Structure 1
Amino acid sequence: MKLYYAPGACSMASHIALNEADETFSIEKVDLAAGKTESGADFKRINPKGYVPTLELDDGEVLTEGPAILQYIADRNPDSRLAPKAGTFERVRLQEHLNFISTEIHKSFGPLFYKAASDDMKAFARGRAELRLGYADRILSDGRRYLMGEDFTVADAYLFTVARWAIPTGIGLDRQPNLQAYVKRVSERPAIRKTLAAEDQK
């Protein structure tokens, strides 16, 4: 398998999941602005949507969309406990977390990474992102170690990735102490340290 990624982008969640599952895979960096991969390939020929993550399977099939890729990795590796068994209520709860992270937290940050976004648009986006991060903070306020309890899942790989964006965008996590402690705790996992190092992230 090959994961196409951009350093620190949402593709980091898939990268973390692959490392957590101890999968055999390669990575190739993508310059999203130029639309080229590190080897010089036209990225839109690989993924016409033009964004990461993109997972190319050994049989040539290509998967896109972070939540789908995350669940695919988890289901390939049931012993990793990265997702509850399909068909269970716990699996639906995981999907609920993934959808919220994807559509509410992740998308809230979008304007903060667009150079063309106006100051008003960015101010609105910061407020919305902080509100959504606050919800995640409340989930973690009961003392649970991870989103689903004691087991690290692919939802944690995703939340960790997007919560980190609060720092470079100037939102910070000081007003979300539970989430702030969670990000620090999760960052100590060996698979996450390995991923951060591979993507040259701190």
Structure 2
Amino acid sequence: MKLYYTPGACSLAAHIILNEINVDFDLERVDLKTHTTEKGVDYYSINPKGYVPALEINPGLILTEIVAILPFLAQHDPKQDLIPPSGMGRAKVLEWLGYLNSELHDAYAVFFGPKLDEEQKQRAYQEIDRLLNYIEKYLASTDFDYLINDRFGPADAYLFVITNWSKLIKHDLEAFPNINLLRDKVAQRQSVQIAMRDEGLIK
């Protein structure tokens, strides 16, 4: 398999899960400004949508959209710990991935488009805080070690990656202690450390 990625983008979540399932894979970096890969390939010829991630499963067989890629990869976990194979457990994973993708990801994404004025920034921060507050209250109400249950999974990786963007947009996570506890657990995983080093995000 080959993952087309941009450092620190949501493709990092797929990179983490690839490390978790311990398979051989290649990485190819994408410059989202020029839409060219590090090998000089027009990225639109790989993913006509133009954004990352894209996962090449076999030559010519491409899967896009992080909410599709994460469950696809997680189901290849030989220990069957990352995602339940069916039933309510799997549905809960998809429910969280949907919320993170359609709500939280989009709320952060406004900072990566046209420049915002101060009033627009404050409204955008408030929206992020509103969405994070839902997650914070949920985590406070459960005894789970992670979002879905006591096992790390794709939703945890995705939440970790999205909330990493707070540093880029100067957004304070101090008001969310349970999210920060979860983030700390995820950050300590070997799969995360390796992925972040490989993408040049940490030394």
TM-score by length of 1: 0.94
CA distance in 2, matches of 1:106, 1:78: 29
**Cα distance between partner residues in 2 of 1:52 and 1:153:** 20
Q: Does 1:189 align with 2:193?
A: no
Distance 1:123 1:34 in 2: 30
Equivalent AA in structure 2 for residue 26 of structure 1: D
Give 3-state SS (helix, strand or coil) of 2:75's partner: helix
Deviation (angstroms), 1:74: 1.3
Write out per-residue CA displacement over residues 53-81 of structure 1, whole angstroms, 9 at most, x where no aligned residue.
10011242100000100011012235241
**In 2, Cα distance between equivalents of 1:169 and 1:116:** 11
- Letter of the 1:185 counterpart: K
Give 2:120's aligned residue.
Answer: 121
* Contact 2:8/2:199 (<8 A) preserved: yes
Name the Cα RMSD after superposition: 1.3
Distance 1:146 1:11 in 2: 20
Secondary structure of 2:174 counterpart: coil
Q: How does 1:18-167 map to 2 (within 5 A)?
A: 18-86=18-86, 88-141=87-140, 142-167=142-167
**2:111 alignment partner AA:** L
Q: In the superposition, relative to structure 1, how do residues 15 and 6 fare at CA in structure 2: closer, same or farther (>3 Å)?
A: same
Asked whether the equivalents of residues 75 and 83 of structure 1 are also in contact (C-alpha less than 8 Å), the reply is yes
Residue correspondences, number: 201
CA–CA separation in structure 2 for the residues paired with 1:118 and 1:51 = 25
Instruction: Give ranges in structure 1 of 5+ residues lacking alignment.
Output: none
Aligned partners of 1:167 and 1:173 also within 8 Å: no
Q: Deviations over 1:131-160 (max 9, x none)?
A: 111111122213421001211111111111
Mapped contact 1:112–1:126 kept (Cα < 8 A): no
Give identity over the alignment, percent: 36
Please, what TM-score do these two structures have when normalized by structure 2? 0.94
Structure 2 residue matching 1:3: 3-state secondary structure: strand
**Following the alignment from structure 2 to structure 1, what is the Cα–Cα distance between the partners of residues 76 and 149?**
22
